[in-house]
Chains A and B, each alone.
Chain A
Amino acid sequence: MTRRCYAVCVIAIIITLAVPVLAQAPKTWVPPKTPWGDPDLQGIWPGNMGVPMQRPQNLGERTALTDEEFAQRVAQAKRQAEADGQSFAASDTRVGIGPPSYWTERGKPTRQTSLIIDPPDGRLPPLTPEAEKYRNEARGGKGLPGEWRGEADSYDDLNIYYRCITRGLLGSIIPVVYNNGNQILQAPGYVVFRNEMIHESRVIPLDGRGHVDSKIKMFMGDSRGHWEGNTLVVETTNFTDKDAIGSNGAGYPGDPGYHSEQLKIVERFTRVSENKLEYRATVIDEKTWTRPWTILIELERNDNYQVLEYACHEGNYAMEDILSGARAAEQK
């Protein structure tokens, strides 16, 4: 073999080896830019209700379902869709008292085993002893608003979601039975994140300004954003402790529930393809949880989805019916 031929062979081998390596290298999708140069996240990104908040314990640290498990979940969704179509058709069957199926969205099956991705077991970390005591002893042992399961003496026994006030910062993005619309709008120096239920819009400055005075406490907190590469990072502080984080934005058993005023939420919005946006939120509140925890919500773009107004206070007959129902029960 001549020296020249050897050199050509070596180059050919290197190219042969290099091509598959290059082909396997993860392709980084580059999001489009706004006219002023920020990564463009704008669009309608409805949430999908198909993933549980906490992972069933038997799945351990597994973040994705196997092919077989996923096929079963798809089959289950299909059966559910069929049942939904039939269950309110027959007039001679006994009906349940819960919300009928035509009220709810079921979501699209995905492989994700839980919204919580950290801790690695996909479960909420334990409460601090202080938080446990606070929850148990709140309101003379009745529990915080919304956790009380007896008859409601006052609107104060019901949580602020029932009262049509808000689902708070994290509750507003956690997918629930209906109205999971989210919209992102951008302007130079600002990002607006709008949630359909209950009617929230955060106008988030990106100019590096500090948070408002620490004495000011809000249900949705005070958000400040910045870009880390193509990821929008939003840090929110100045929370009230009158709100609970819930899959329902409320504070039902099994939900994360109430937090302290020290709560800090760090959200990361990364558009990973034309129609997919990964939303991560890390919850840091050392007064309430023994360690931070993180959720991942995969949002799929759907510009045909209309985000409709959800001003619910004026039409909230349920509040009147719940309180007057409790008074009627007392008369018996």
Chain B
Amino acid sequence: MRLKGDDRMLRKMPAALVLTAALAMSVPLWAHHAFQAEFDDKKPVHLVGKVTKMEWINPHAWIHIDVTESDGKVTSWMVECGSPNIMLRRGFTKESLEFGSEIVVEGYRAKNGSNRANGSSVTFKDGRRLFVGGSNPDIPAEFRQ
């Protein structure tokens, strides 16, 4: 999980607020499997590719893309996403990502060296977000975007 901006926030927070933040963060936030064991934090990837397939499978969905490299060679990659259940609850449906759409992925490559990566950040080429947060049914309406 990313905690972008949290260092800055923590410095500004009074002690009581830090306590609350600690309470909230003490809830385990790891997902189904060990990220550190599956992906290599020394191998960041930046991929721009066209969607060829999406696997709506548990425990995690996978987007397949074809990446055209500068020499014209086309390489197929797989990008790991959240579980289909939570993606559906966040409003992501099979219509959200069309075959042939071009997406930009920031992530880390699998430790085994294969063309698989986690999709830490996934956007369309024009900058639109692929996954829109905040529609989580467990978040009260006043917190939704």
Q: Which A positions have Cβ atoms within 8 angstroms of B?
A: 46, 48-54, 56, 58, 68-69, 72-73, 75-91, 93-109, 113, 151-152, 158, 161-162, 164, 176-180, 196, 247-248, 252, 254-255, 302, 304-306, 308-312, 314-319, 321-322, 324-329
Contact = CB atoms under 8 A, between A and B. Distances in A.
Interface SS of chain A: loop
A310 B27 contact: no
A61 to B, nearest CB: 16
Contact of A91 (B4, B112, B118, B127): B127
A76 B24 contact: yes
Contacts of B20: 69, 72-73, 75-76
**Nearest 9 A-B pairs (CB), nearest first?**
A325-B111, A315-B57, A95-B120, A103-B82, A324-B112, A96-B2, A318-B33, A312-B58, A312-B59
Contacts of A77: 24, 139, 143
B23 A56 contact: yes
Nearest to A90: B121
B143 A81 contact: yes
A164 B59 contact: yes
A99 B1 contact: yes
Interface in B97-114: 104, 106-108, 110-114
Contacts of A310: 58-59, 83, 85
B118 to A, nearest CB: 7
B85 A308 contact: yes
Contacts of B85: 178-179, 196, 308, 310
Given A97-B118, A247-B27, A316 B59 contact: yes
Nearest to A321: B38
Contacts of B36: 97
B28 to A, nearest CB: 5
Nearest to B120: A95
22 contacts: A48-B138, A69-B20, A73-B20, A73-B24, A76-B20, A77-B139, A83-B5, A88-B131, A95-B107, A97-B36, A98-B29, A99-B29, A104-B82, A106-B139, A113-B23, A152-B37, A252-B30, A315-B55, A315-B60, A315-B62, A325-B111, A328-B111
B103 to A, nearest CB: 11
Contact of A88 (B9, B122, B139): B122
Contact of B30 (A51, A53, A99): A99
Interface of B: 1-6, 9, 16-17, 19-24, 26-41, 44, 55, 57-60, 62, 78, 80-90, 104, 106-108, 110-114, 116, 118-123, 127, 129, 131-134, 136-140, 142-145
Contacts of B19: 56, 58, 69, 72
A150 B37 CA distance: 9
Contacts of B120: 88, 95-97, 100
B120 to A, nearest CB: 4
A141 B127 CA distance: 49
Given A50-B27, A326-B111, 19 more contacts: A52-B26, A73-B20, A80-B24, A95-B121, A101-B2, A103-B83, A151-B37, A162-B33, A164-B59, A176-B28, A179-B83, A247-B28, A252-B30, A308-B84, A316-B59, A319-B33, A324-B111, A325-B37, A325-B110
A255 B6 CA distance: 25
Given A100-B119, A252-B30, A326-B37, A305 B137 contact: yes
Contacts of B22: 56
Nearest to B111: A325
Contacts of B83: 103, 178-179, 310
B55 A49 contact: no
A176 to B, nearest CB: 7
A318 B79 CA distance: 12
Nearest to B48: A91
Contacts of A53: 27
A173 to B, nearest CB: 15
Nearest to B136: A105
B1 A100 contact: yes
